[in-house]
Structures are given as C-alpha cells and as structure tokens.
C-alpha cells in the first residue's frame, strides 16, 4: 500500500511542479500568437472540408469557377477568324458548340432551380425568381417562367431528360 501511495505522490508532484503549457503555441491553427480560447480545432494547419468553414481566402464554387474560366477563355479568343478552318473542323465545331450549348442550358436550369429554392428573386425585390431571372438575363418574363417550369420538371420528374441535356444530346427546345 505504501508503494502505491508513494507513486501517486510522485505523479502529483510532477504535474504540479511543471510550468503551465502555452496551449496557444501548441494547438493554435494560426501562426500569430493569439490566445487559445478553449476546446476546438487542435491540429495545427488542419482544414475541415465544409462549406461553412473558411480559412483565409474562400475558394469559388466549382460552377462559379467554371463560368469564370469559360468567360475568360472566350474573351481571350477574341474575334475568331473562321475562314482558316477546314470543312471537317467546321462540321465538328458546329456539332460540338451545339452540344456545349445544351450542356450549359442544363447547368443554367440547375442554377435557376437552386435560385428558386433560395427565393433569390424576393431577396432582390422581384416578385419571384423567374421575374428576377428575366430581368437580369434579358429574357421575356414569359420565357423565364416557361424555362423555370422546365427547370422544376427536369429537377423532379424527368431526370433522364436532365441527364441527356447534361450530356449534350437533348436540346431545351425539343418537345418530349
């Protein structure tokens, strides 16, 4: 019994005689000397993959980044001189550009559906999201409402059509 009591006493002396540790140095996720505010992220330099967690500069959503890249590429292309394209290149490009348009249309419909879920139009003072969409994209309100209805349909009831549009094989204008 005396041995156990002696070991316990040594442990107690060792823990009380040490200087308190600087937790902000050991566990802080920043390089600055900021005070440690309590339990939380305890791995230095750790990143948690979560949309609500931002470390430094927030990265753009993949859709927003894609749109920015395509716009920059089109700006860089400038005025394409098509007279130098061969007939084969023209035929392939014509079909590819049409397929790309269908794919972008499907993406636009997905974005419109999500904007409608978030009631984006009301946040910008419009009657509804389709009215806001019409105003910001120079569509007629009638066309925007029809396209919003199509977006809702392909989102809920017609996934194969949405998938075909995403593949570039079905046009928005095609009547199913």
Kindly state whether residue 71 falls inside one of the protein's structural domains: no
Kindly state whether residue 9 falls inside one of the protein's structural domains: no
- pLDDT digits over 72-93, tens only? 999 999 888 889 999 999 999 9
Query: How many CB atoms are closer than 10 A to CB 121?
Result: 21
Least confident of 55-64, 100-109, 132-141: 55-64
Query: What is the pTM assigned to this prediction?
Result: 0.63
Kindly state whether residue 23 falls inside one of the protein's structural domains: no
Tokens for 138, please give them: 């120079």
Least confident of 29-33, 114-118, 164-168: 29-33
Long-range contacts of 60-64 (CB under 8 A, 24+ apart): 63/107, 63/111
Q: CB-based contacts of 27: which residues, under 8 Å, 6+ apart? A: 36, 42, 44
Kindly state whether residue 92 falls inside one of the protein's structural domains: yes
3-state class of 59 per DSSP?
Answer: coil
Kindly state whether residue 8 falls inside one of the protein's structural domains: no
- In order, the DSSP letters of 63-114 are HHHHHHHHHHHHHHH-S--GGGS-HHHHHHHHHHHHHHHHHHHHHHHHHHHH
**Predicted local confidence at residue 159, as pLDDT:** 87
Kindly state whether residue 127 falls inside one of the protein's structural domains: yes
- pLDDT digits over 14-37, tens only? 555 455 555 444 444 555 555 555
**Predicted local confidence at residue 80, as pLDDT:** 86
Q: How far apart are CA 35 and CA 103, in angstroms?
A: 50
Q: Which domain holds residue 147?
A: 85-167
Domains: count for the chain = 1
**Predicted local confidence at residue 33, as pLDDT:** 53
Query: How many CB atoms are closer than 10 A to CB 29?
Result: 14
Kindly state whether residue 75 falls inside one of the protein's structural domains: no
């Amino acid at each position: 019994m005396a041995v156990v009591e002696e070991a316990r006493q040594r442990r107690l002396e060792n823990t009380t005689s040490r200087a308190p540790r600087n937790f902000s140095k050991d566990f802080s996720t920043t390089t600055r000397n900021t005070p440690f505010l309590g339990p939380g992220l305890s791995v230095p330099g750790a990143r948690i993959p979560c949309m609500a967690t931002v470390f430094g500069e927030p990265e753009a959503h993949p859709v927003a980044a894609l749109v920015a890249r395509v716009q920059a590429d089109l700006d860089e292309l400038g005025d394409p001189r098509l007279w130098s394209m061969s007939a084969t290149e023209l035929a392939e490009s014509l079909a590819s550009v049409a397929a790309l348009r269908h794919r972008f249309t499907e993406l636009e419909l997905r974005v419109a559906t999500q904007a409608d879920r978030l009631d984006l139009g009301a946040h910008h003072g419009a009657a509804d999201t389709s009215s806001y969409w019409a105003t910001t994209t120079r569509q007629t309100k009638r066309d925007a409402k029809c396209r919003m209805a199509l977006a809702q349909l392909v989102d809920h009831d017609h996934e194969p059509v949405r998938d075909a549009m995403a593949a570039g094989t079905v046009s928005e204008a095609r009547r199913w």
